[in-house]
Amino acid sequence: MSQGRVPAALLALAGLGLLFFLLPLAGLIVRAPWDQAIGAIESPETGTALGLSLFCSLAATAVALVLGIPLAFVLSKTTGHLRSVMRALTTLPMVLPPVVGGVALLLAFGRKGLVGSILYQAFGIQIPFTPAAAVMAETFVAMPFLVIAVEGGLRSLDPRYEEAARALGARGWMVFARVTLPLLRPAIFSGAVLCWARALGEFGATITFAGNFPGRTQTVPVAVYVALETRPESAIVLSLILLAVSLAVLVGMRDRWLGAL
């Protein structure tokens, strides 16, 4: 980038913007009790939370892949009003405050919820306060990232590949599995990584729908919140771990995911 072409005012504002992101990071790094970091990482609470977070976020990503790719596929084939409605529905969790999402999940899948009451009465299944609830909360909030990335990939796909496959006699499912999916690999990959990173950081919907219990529903973000007052050094170390993971993911992805959006 040549500096000469960017007006000074823009450069100054951009610098401020960057600083706004950088300073909180710097705060965490400067204030981190590095001497206690190893101890905090090795403490059983931290390990449990990390393990649970890893499991839940990966499970959420898996669910998002199974449901999200078909959803993106259908979305890309839909036009008109129906498409606007479906798109709004799939992106809703991105703008909904996660806590509201959590309450909505309770009202749908709780013991007294629309679907949850049937599950409870017929099979005795209770979803809230279980790891499954944490996975569902994370899926709810993170799946839109995958859907949008994959749909973007589908829209930029050259339709001639699919047409050619059909002309050669391939049926719908065959075209999807053998032609469309392989071509979508970059979009799916970037969407999945984004979705996973979002799921890993999920807090509001999880605490509301799944509650907080170490080893069962206490994921890293919830553990950070709990530890903030009683064990601030653990909170900062846990935050730094989340931060490092997210940063590694985003730097590793660089422009790829932006391209997909």
Partner 1 sequence: MTRKLVLAFAILFLAGCGGQTGAASATSAPPQTGISVFAASSLKPAFDKIGARLQVTKNVVTIFNYSGSQTLTAQIEQGAPADVFASADTAHMTTVESAGLLSGSSKIFAHNKLEIAVAKGNPKGIHTLADLSRAGLVVVLADPSVPAGKYAQQALNMAHVTVHPASLELQVTGVLSKVSLGEADAGIVYVSDILTSGQVDGVPIPDDQNVIADYPIAVLKSTSNGPGAQAFIDLVLSSDGQTILRAAGFQGV
Instruction: State the residues that interact with partner 1 by CB under 8 A.
Output: 106-107, 110-112, 126, 128-129, 207, 210-213, 217, 225-226, 228-230, 232
218-248 burial, b for 16+ CB within 10 Å, e for fewer? bbbbbbbebbeeebebbbbbbbbbbeebeee
Report, in Å, the least distance between residue 147 CB and partner 1: 28
Report, in Å, the least distance between residue 218 CB and partner 1: 8
Contact 86, 79 (CB under 8 A): no
Q: Considering the complex, state which of residue 116 and residue 152 has its C-beta at the smaller distance from partner 1.
A: 116
Please report, in angstroms and rounded to a whole number, the separation of the first and last CA atoms in the chain.
23
Q: Tell me which amino acid residue 108 is.
A: A
Report, in Å, the least distance between residue 138 CB and partner 1: 17
Q: Considering the complex, state which of residue 211 and residue 259 has its C-beta at the smaller distance from partner 1.
A: 211
Cα–Cα distances (Å) from 167 to 172, 173, 180, in that order, read 12, 14, 15
Please name which of 169, 182, 153 lies closest in space to residue 75, comparing C-alpha atoms. 153
Q: Considering the complex, state which of residue 78 and residue 117 has its C-beta at the smaller distance from partner 1.
A: 117
Cα(140)–Cα(101) distance, integer angstroms:
8
Q: Tell me which amino acid residue 2 is.
A: S
Report, in Å, the least distance between residue 230 CB and partner 1: 5
Contact 238, 127 (CB under 8 A): no
Q: Considering the complex, state which of residue 72 and residue 207 has its C-beta at the smaller distance from partner 1.
A: 207
Please name which of 199, 208, 203 lies closest in space to residue 106, comparing C-alpha atoms. 208
Q: Considering the complex, state which of residue 68 and residue 128 has its C-beta at the smaller distance from partner 1.
A: 128
Report, in Å, the least distance between residue 246 CB and partner 1: 22
Q: Considering the complex, state which of residue 110 and residue 191 has its C-beta at the smaller distance from partner 1.
A: 110
Q: Considering the complex, state which of residue 70 and residue 232 has its C-beta at the smaller distance from partner 1.
A: 232
HEC profile for 142-158? HHHHHHHHHHHHHHCCC
